[in-house]
Amino acid sequence: MTPFLIIIVIALLAVTGWQISKIFELSKTPDADTSQVANNKDNENQGKLMMGFAVFLYLLMFYCFWTFTNVTLPDAASEHGGKYDNLMLISMLLIMFVQIVTQALLHYFAYKYRGAAGKKALFYADNDKLEFIWTIIPVITLAGLIIYGLFTWTDIMSVNEDEDPIVIELYAQQFSWTARYAGDDNTLGEANVRFIEGMNTLGVDQEDSYANDDKVVRELHLPVNKPVLFKLRSQDVLHSAYFPHFRAQMNVVPGMITQFGFTPTVTTEEMRNNDDIVDKVERINDIRRENGDDSYEFDYFLLCNKICGQAHYNMQMKVVVESEADYEAWLAEQATFEESMSEE
């Protein structure tokens, strides 16, 4: 009901503004200039407004950089994250350079060549040399970015099986994540949504011997400096597994298994002591104290980065990166799939 009322109010304000403009138009004196053709004064004003807008645009840009850089992500917590960040930095620097130059020229020329009485525009049909220059430069630049990006993407997505990565399945459903560890054999048992029944919420094939030592958990633990290979499944709609601090994301598609891997390099405790994170947590807790909420402590999270439904915003799983000894101790405490099913 509230959005409907807001729309009505906005519509009434628009009608009111239109009627007021009509009143001003009718109240003009007979000798007022009512021509729709721009005169010298109009051109002068428009030229100055263009330069004024350029100044406003750049001031706003620098203000945003100055004010909001403290809400960006800290240094990457994965082995490949540095390459990802470098690619992002190079792309943004190129975009900012081109934007600054082209916007400056656009607004300056709009002012410099503003209309004036007696001034006639030069008819300039074409220039093959100029067209070649402003075509070949973007082609070379984009080709370089794309090739560099492809090499980076290939390096990130290539999982070296010789390193014996830890195999973990991430199972997505509206609106939660579940993880299934491959167990001692590091091989996941087969699964299909047709097998979902009772406690078997992931549809694991109970006839598959590889599934017996699988471990199903609701909190993700990873050992630091050990490669991890994630197998992704969705029960219902399209989701996207997003690890922002590890610079990793992959779509989770119903009816198929997607995968990606990374090696975490910074434990949760180490990231909590990161200067950027300490500052961010302090600012968050200042706000929470004002609202009477409990204090916040930093944790890694797995998020869903596809709008998958009404509670999409709350689809997350805590991720703990710890030493290998702590990881092994935690994993040993988790029940196997076979033990869980025997309790049913």
**321 assigned to some structural domain:** yes
C-alpha to C-alpha distance for 49 and 39, rounded to whole angstroms: 15
The pLDDT score that the predictor gives to residue 28 is: 66
**210 assigned to some structural domain:** yes
Query: What φ, ψ does residue 220 adopt, rounded to 5°?
Result: -95, 125
In angstroms and rounded to an integer, the radius of gyration of the C-alpha atoms of the chain is 30
| Counts for the chain of helices (H) and strands (E), in that order | 8, 10
**153 assigned to some structural domain:** no
C-alpha to C-alpha distance for 147 and 163, rounded to whole angstroms: 27
C-alpha to C-alpha distance for 334 and 344, rounded to whole angstroms: 16
**48 assigned to some structural domain:** no
The pLDDT score that the predictor gives to residue 140 is: 92
Is the Cβ–Cβ distance between 275 and 75 less than 8 Å? no
The pLDDT score that the predictor gives to residue 338 is: 82
Please give the distance of CA 261 from its chain centroid, rounded to a whole number: 19
C-alpha to C-alpha distance for 299 and 322, rounded to whole angstroms: 12
**138 assigned to some structural domain:** no
The pLDDT score that the predictor gives to residue 53 is: 92
Per-residue DSSP letter, 78 = B
C-alpha to C-alpha distance for 101 and 229, rounded to whole angstroms: 44
The pLDDT score that the predictor gives to residue 285 is: 92
Question: Domain residues for 306?
Answer: 165-343
Number of domains in the chain: 1
The pLDDT score that the predictor gives to residue 225 is: 93
CATH number assigned to the domain comprising residue 181: 2.60.40.420
pLDDT less than 50: residues of the chain: none
The pLDDT score that the predictor gives to residue 26 is: 67
Is the Cβ–Cβ distance between 225 and 55 less than 8 Å? no
Is the Cβ–Cβ distance between 156 and 263 less than 8 Å? no
234 three-state secondary structure: strand
C-alpha to C-alpha distance for 119 and 38, rounded to whole angstroms: 14
**33 assigned to some structural domain:** no
**336 assigned to some structural domain:** yes
**224 assigned to some structural domain:** yes
